[in-house]
Structure 1
Amino acid sequence: MAAEQGGRSSALRVLEEALGMGLTPAGDAADAVAAEGAYYLEQVTVTEASEEDYEYEEIPDDNFSIPEGEEDLAKAIQIAQEQVTDTQILEQKTVLPSKHAIPEVIEDFLCNFLIKMGMTRTLDCFQSEWYELIQKGVTELQDVGNVPDVYTQIMFLENENKNLKKDLKHYKQAADKAREDLLKTQKERDFHRMHHKRIDQEKTKLINDLKGLKLHYASYEPTMRVLHEKHHTLLKEKMLTTLERDRAIGKINELQATFKNIEIGHGYHVPEIKVAHNYEKENTPEGPTQRGVREAREQIKHKTKMKDNKKDSEFPIDTQPDPNLNLFKENLCPAKFDYKLSNIFRLHELPVSCIAMHPEKDILVSCGEDHLWKLVGLPKGNVLVTGFGHTDWLSDCCFHPSGNKLATSSGDTTVKLWDLYKGDCILTFEGHNHAVWSCTWHSCGNFVASSSLDTTCKIWDVNSEICRCTLYGHTDSVNSIEFFPSSNTLLTASADKSLSLWDARTGKCEQSLYGHMHSINDATFAPRGHMIASCDACGVIKLWDFRKLLPIVSIDVGPSPGNEVNFDSSGRVLAQASGNGVIHLLDLKSGQIHKLMGHDTEAHTVVFSHDGESLFSGGSDGTVRKWS
């Protein structure tokens, strides 16, 4: 009996070891059977009577004893299964499961294991007890899982190892490439850092040089101002001398004609009198400048001879009163600020550059960058006449005092005169070297003045169709020009930040006004003539006392540029067209600024109606907007 118990203990121990190992394929068991000899399993049927009369032999075992009874055996099997479960859990932590697991029956596994180990007695004992328990129904066959395939698992791990080695190789290559890129980037960074330091040093040096040049320029500016004054004085003396010379030549010509008449009538021979300066020119070698002047004079004389019926116009007396002053005093319209957008006239495909009101009728003219000007009837805004002829954008326009003619200036360097009834060009003035920015009529209607990008202004004689005078003095583009009403005084505004007043008869600059810090875009006289308004490229509006030629006030409505300024007929309201599309209305009495918001784009020009009830503005979207 003790031997039987010892056999059972050995069988259980071997069972636990086998369950703990859990790694014997069925194929190995078959090989073991073939190697040990021929073994087979015999099915034994146990009846109920034999179960009661069966006596087991006790096998002594000092190390292990298994409790008797069916419950104790089931408990032992349960403990063994728990150990197997724990072992599988530990294996799952370290070994990945096999892709192809082979299902095994637990008894076949144990039998094969015992046969392979040569433990026949333990095998007989296990089979007897196992089938006895199955027969009694104490235990049930359960699916204890799959026996892992070690070879498959090893192959899987080897494949994983190869893949990891490949990934490691790729990572090493990527790391080497990243290291090279890092070194290259560091070199480029060092290069750009050195370049930045060098540029910074050059910038500091240029700033210092610029400061020095500013100081140097500041020291020369008073000298330049004095030289400009001397230059203007010399120009004045030169023009006066020229006038005296021309007057003396005229007297000499009259005397010669008188002597010829006397000679013809009385038979006396009177020697011809030569003009001194002509005699000197005949005996003095001419330089290139003198030769050019002489050729220009000859051309002018030739043109004058060809136009026998076209004589030079005479400038009117400068002391004539303005006929509109009495009207202003009697019929001053009240100042208005509550304008609202009432109508939009779409007249041009490109931006509108200028608007001018007819001096007598409810008609306006708009000029655009599409090379056209249009005569528009009010209040409907229907186009009456369209003018074609310029080959570039139009910059400005001005009505003849009588209202039957129109002067336009353009980027094609010309000034054209138009017949408004027919819409035809009747005269073209050519002489500027660059674009013409502005034009204006003299109150007598015989002269047109123009200002240009070539830093000069010209006075054109409508009757003789020639340039009577060129005004030199500005050092940058002359953006605006305007005649003072009923006088020979011209006002010009330039990009050199100065305003100038000229005598149209002599071409001399009488006075220059300084105060703007940026390019002056436009300047105009107040209706009563006692004030000048100007605006610059940073939105600063300045008012000047025309009688004292001193600044009155400066108003900043920037930073958007001021493109044009205009007074209403009362002279109390000043309107400015701004680059941000806002129309600023300045109340000269209270100093308040009102804004008209309606343009979607830049506003280029603004003008009041004669009664002050309406205001018209033109923008870069090609529209003219009416405010009332």
Structure 2
Amino acid sequence: MAAQQGKNSSALRVLEEALGVGLTDAKDTASAVAAEGAYYLEQVTITEASEDDYEYEEIPDDNFSIPEGEEDLAKAIQMVQEQATDTQILEEKTDLPSKRVAPEVIEDFLCNFLMRMGMTRTLDCFQSEWYEFIQKGITDVRDVGNVPDVYTQNMLLETENKNLKKDLKHYKQAADKAREGLLKTQKERDFHRMHHKRTVQEKNKLINDLKGLKLHYASYEPTIRVLHEKHHTLLKQKMLTSLQRDRAVKQMSRVQATLMYAEPGCSNSVPEIRAIPSHEKENAPEGPAQNDLHEIREQDKYKPKMKNKTDSKFPTDMQPNPNLYFCKENNHPAKFDYKLNNIFRLHSLPVSCIAIHPRKDILVSCGEDHVWKLVGLPKGHVLLTGCSHTDWLSHCCFHPSGNKLATASGDTTVKLWDLSKGNCILTFEGHGHAVWSCTWHTCGDFVASSSLDTTSKIWDVNSERCRCTLYGHTDSVNSIEFFPYSNTLLTGSADKSLSLWDARTGKCEQTLYGHMHSINDATFAPRGHIIASCDSCGVTKLWDFRKLLPIVSIDTGPSPGNEVNFDSSGRVLAQASGNGVIHLLNLKSGQIHKLMGHENEAHTVIFSHDGESLFSGGSDGTVRKWS
């Protein structure tokens, strides 16, 4: 037994010496690591002086053995030294984060180490003594601490390294993409900068040219002003001359009638009276008969004229609409290829309406400058000017015979004009607000008007009074028109509805709904079978007048449609738009053609009687001829 204990003690001494060398070399390293809170090793010093006096405990386990041979000891010493070296390297180069440490108790570390070295007996001896100290309370596990798992830390570092490489690759790709975008943006910037410089140069050049043109035009303005004044003076002289001529002719006819009935029985021997030239009139002496004629003329001037105050009667048996036969015989193809032919500068303010004379090549234009002008075609000479209204003109309409004109104005009145004399012969007053539209009955004895006061009125020309007021609309009545050769009236209102009225009774016969916005204008086709209407958002609708149902809706918005009119054949509809475009609608094919020529808003449009020309008025005060 003593020999066996001596043998074991010699083996333990050798192991302790081997371990002591490794532990002594790793003293500082272990202390530094323990200072960081990772783990620490307790220093045990074995001296040669206490070697003989040390008392070893008996190991009851017979299987306990110490590996023999110098190779095993050298291997154990080498491993301890390598472990100490690794610990020193980790201490110098690697800062292990405390949050990612996988803790491992000191006994597991030592057990694993002894197991890897194959020192099973030493392991059994260590375990028995370790747990015995723990049970006796000699060793406190909480004071021992933990040993960091270097392998786990290496795995975490490798994972973090992979993530960083992946992020680095992603950032490189993003940087390359950003570099490409930057190069593209720089190229676009250079292109736009060059384009901007070129635009600025062109702008400066245009400004200089415009200044030069203004100066050049300013030099001609006095001459143009003088020529305009001379032109108006000559026109006035021409008008006065024509009026004097008409008065002279009437005077001649009166003198003839006076001489014819002055001497009874001598009617057959009345001498022929001829017109005396103006140069002879100045030198010819006046006789007693001429003096008497002057006195009679002066007396007749101040005598009150008797007027027929009886009311006119609405015709019951109207003649058939001649446009029915005209449209059937008129088989010429519809014309759409209109081109701007001429520009008539007639008004200083926007043109509100254009009307074509029923028989002659004459048109009338109304403007917001309070005047209307009678213009001869095709050259556009102003033949007559009317300026009795005190506010802007909104609409005009020729008498069926063509010798009278009706005008509607913002001064709440409707005026009738005698075109042969050029003066106002009758004024209808009764509306509470501006009058938007007016129209003649086919018989020529009635005028209808629509107003902002939500009413329409029918005026009797002979009795000079309002025969009827049409109530029913809830908003401004913007347009009114008589059905050709009938007593039916059509009105379009800002309350988004169309109404059909019986002019004889003043009752609303039918109301048409379908527009979503205020209706600006409505008109009949020449044959009377179709109604066209346009609203403030550019929507034009066609209605079947016989069935009183909508046919089609055309949207040319969002600019408002100001006026619509058919051509003489009834196959083409023209619309004046708020964006300055004239839209031509082919009712047969449904195609829309556009006429571009107005610089600003187009207010009115109308066809000539033969359909070869088209006239439009704009907000710039001009009337444009298209042919």
| Structure 2 length-normalised TM | 0.51
Quick one: structure 1 residues 362 and 333, their matched pair in 2 at CA, closer, same or farther if it must change by over 3 Å? Answer: farther
Mapped partners of 1:439, 1:331: distance in 2: 29
The aligned amino acid for 2:483 is F
Q: CA–CA distance in 1 between the matches of 2:510 and 2:550?
A: 13
Name 1:441's counterpart in structure 2: 440
Q: d(CA) in 1 for partners of 2:378 and 2:307?
A: 45
Compute the RMSD of aligned alpha carbons. 1.2
In structure 1, the residue matched to 2:17 is none
Once residues 439 and 338 of structure 1 are traced to their aligned partners in structure 2, the CA distance between those partners, rounded to angstroms, is 31
Q: Distance in 2 between matches of 1:456 and 1:415?
A: 14
- Which secondary structure does the structure 1 equivalent of 2:406 belong to? strand
Which residue pairs with 1:361 in the alignment? 360
User: Shift of residue 331 of structure 1?
Assistant: 3.4
Partner of 2:591: 592
Correspondence list, 1:6-85, <5 A: none
Query: Given that residues 333 and 569 in structure 1 are in contact (C-alpha distance below 8 angstroms), is that contact kept between their aligned partners in structure 2?
Result: no
Per-residue deviation, 1:326: 2.2
- In the aligned structure 1, how far is the partner of 2:316 from the partner of 2:536? 36
**Identity across aligned pairs (percent)?**
87
Partner of 1:60: none
CA contact (8 A) 1:371 1:388 kept: yes
Q: How many equivalent residue pairs? A: 323
Match of 2:347 in 1: 348
Q: Tell me by how many angstroms 1:439 deviates.
A: 0.0
1:602–1:308 Cα change, 3 Å: closer
* Alpha-carbon distance between aligned partners in 2 of 1:544 and 1:566, rounded to the nearest angstrom: 14
Please tell me the residue identity of whatever aligns with 1:492.
T
Give 1:318 deviation, angstroms.
5.4
Residue of structure 2 in register with 1:485 after alignment = 484
Code of the residue aligned with 1:436 in structure 2: it is V
Q: What is the alpha-carbon distance in structure 1 between the residues aligned to residue 508 and residue 308 of structure 2?
A: 32
Aligned to 2:458: 459
Q: CA deviation digits over 1:12-44, x for unaligned, max 9?
A: xxxxxxxxxxxxxxxxxxxxxxxxxxxxxxxxx
Instruction: Give the letter for the 1:423 counterpart.
Output: G
Distance, in Å, in 1 between the alignment partners of 2:556 and 2:387 is 37
In 1, distance between residues paired with 2:439 and 2:467? Answer: 15
Instruction: Tell me the secondary structure at the aligned position of residue 324 of structure 1.
Output: helix
Q: Give the secondary structure class of the aligned counterpart of 1:314.
A: coil
Write the mapping of 1:304-323 to structure 2, written as runs, cut at 5 A.
Answer: 309-317=308-316, 319-323=318-322
Compute the displacement of 1:334 (Å).
2.9
Corresponding letter in the other structure for 2:439: T
Q: Distance in 2 between matches of 1:318 and 1:513?
A: 27
Q: Does 1:529 align with 2:528?
A: yes
Inter-partner Cα distance in structure 1 for 2:318 and 2:393? 34
Q: Provide structure 2 residue ranges, at least 5 long, that are not aligned to the other structure.
A: 1-304
What do residues 181-209 of structure 1 show as CA deviations (whole Å, max 9, x unaligned)?
xxxxxxxxxxxxxxxxxxxxxxxxxxxxx
Cα distance, 1:317 vs structure 2: 1.2
Which secondary structure does the structure 2 equivalent of 1:328 belong to? helix
Does the CA-based 8 Å contact 1:333-1:612 persist in structure 2? no
- Judge conservation of contact 1:440–1:483 (CA < 8 Å) in 2: yes
Tell me, in whole angstroms, the C-alpha distance in 1 between the residues paired with 2:312 and 2:431.
21
Letter of the 1:384 partner, please give it.
L
Note closer, same or farther for the CA distance 1:565–1:330 as it changes in structure 2 (3 Å cut): same
User: Residue 395 of structure 2 corresponds to which residue in structure 1?
Assistant: 396
Alpha-carbon distance between aligned partners in 1 of 2:553 and 2:376, rounded to the nearest angstrom = 37
Q: How does 1:129-148 map to 2 (within 5 A)?
A: none
What is the correspondence of 1:416-427 to structure 2 with a 5 Å cutoff? 416-427=415-426
Structure-2 separation of matches of 1:307 and 1:491:
35
Find the aligned partners of 2:427 and 2:327 in 1 and give their Cα distance.
35
SS of 1:621's equivalent? coil
Q: Which residue of 2 aligns with 1:512?
A: 511
Unpaired runs of at least 5, structure 1: 1-305
The correspondence of residues 191-210 of structure 1 with structure 2, limited to 5 A, is: none
Q: Give the aligned partner of residue 625 of structure 2.
A: 626
Amino acid in the other structure paired with 2:563: E
Q: Deviation at 1:421?
A: 1.5
Partner of 2:374: 375
Give, in whole Å, the separation in 1 of the partners of 2:306 and 2:568.
41
1:110 maps to which residue? none
Report Cα offsets for 1:535-559 as digits up to 9, x if no partner: 0000000000000000000010000
Letter in 2 for 1:619: G
Alignment of 1:93-132 (within 5 A): none
> Does the CA contact (< 8 Å) of 1:332 and 1:569 recur in 2?
no
**1:330 CA displacement:** 2.3
**Letter matched to residue 419 of structure 1:** D
- C-alpha separation between the residues in 1 aligned to 2:449 and 2:470? 10
Cα distance change, pair 373–308 in 1 and its aligned pair in 2 (3 A): closer
**d(CA) in 1 for partners of 2:539, 2:308:** 49
Aligned residues of 1:540 and 1:558 also touching (Cα < 8 A): yes
> Alpha-carbon deviation of 1:354?
0.1
Contact 2:409 2:434 in 1 (8 A): yes
User: Separation in 1 of the partners of 2:431 and 2:337?
Assistant: 42
Q: 1:469 and 2:468 equivalent?
A: yes
For residues 621 and 308 of structure 1, what CA distance do their matches in structure 2 show? 42
Which residue of the partner structure matches residue 501 of structure 1?
Answer: 500
Query: Displacement, 1:468?
Result: 0.2
Alpha-carbon deviation of 1:333?
Answer: 4.3
Tell me how far apart the structure 1 counterparts of residues 339 and 307 of structure 2 sit (CA, whole Å): 55
Evaluate the alpha carbon distance shift between residue 417 and residue 489 of structure 1 in structure 2; reply closer, same or farther with a 3 A threshold.
same
Cα deviation, residue 423, structure 1: 1.0
Alignment check: 8 A CA contact 1:352 1:366 kept: yes
After superposition, what is the alpha-carbon deviation per residue over 1:347-368, rounded to whole angstroms, capped at 9, x for unaligned? 0000000000000111100000
Equivalence for 1:553: 552
Query: Which residue is equivalent to 2:404?
Result: 405
Q: Distance in 2 between matches of 1:333 and 1:430?
A: 45
Instruction: Name the aligned partner's letter for residue 413 of structure 1.
Output: T
Amino acid paired to 2:567: D
Kept after mapping to 2: 8 A contact 1:539/1:556: yes
Q: Is the 8 A contact 2:308 2:462 kept in 1?
A: no
Match of 2:563 in 1: 564
Distance 1:311 1:340 in 2: 50
Aligned position for 2:540: 541
Distance in 1, Cα, partners of 2:365 & 2:307: 37
**Structure 1 residues 474 and 598: CA distance shift in structure 2, 3 A:** same
Matched-pair contact (CA < 8 Å) for 2:327–2:570: no
Q: Post-superposition, which runs of at least 4 consecutive aligned residues in structure 1 deviate over 6 A?
A: none
Distance in structure 1 (CA, Å) of the matches to 2:517 and 2:400: 33
In 2, the alpha carbon distance for the partners of 1:487 and 1:471 equals: 17
Structure 1 residue 445: Cα displacement = 0.1
3-state SS of the aligned residue for 2:327? helix
Q: 3-state DSSP class of the match of 2:322? A: coil
Contact 2:614 2:626 (C-alpha < 8 Å) held by counterparts: yes
What is the CA-CA distance between 1:323 and the residue it aligns to?
2.9
Q: Which amino acid aligns with 2:569?
A: S
Deviation at 1:422, TM superposition (A): 1.4
3-state DSSP of counterpart to 1:325: helix
Amino acid at match of 1:556: D
Please name the residue that 1:238 is paired with.
none
C-alpha distance in structure 1 between counterparts of 2:308 and 2:500, whole Å: 33
Contact 2:583 / 2:595 at 8 angstroms: preserved in 1? yes
Q: Residues of 2 paired with 1:390 and 1:381: CA distance?
A: 23
Task: Give distance in 2, aligned partners of 1:522 and 1:477.
Answer: 12
Q: How does 1:134-173 map to 2 (within 5 A)?
A: none
Q: Deviations along 1:165-222, whole A, 9 cap, x unmatched? A: xxxxxxxxxxxxxxxxxxxxxxxxxxxxxxxxxxxxxxxxxxxxxxxxxxxxxxxxxx
Q: Distance in 2 between matches of 1:505 and 1:523?
A: 21
1:34 equivalent in structure 2 = none
CA contact (8 A) 1:333 1:611 kept: no
Q: Aligned letter for 1:352? A: V
Please tell me the residue identity of whatever aligns with 1:616. Answer: F
Question: How big is each residue's C-alpha offset from its partner over 1:225-254, in whole Å with a ceiling of 9 and x where there is no partner?
Answer: xxxxxxxxxxxxxxxxxxxxxxxxxxxxxx
Distance 1:623-1:308 versus aligned 2 partners, 3 A rule: closer
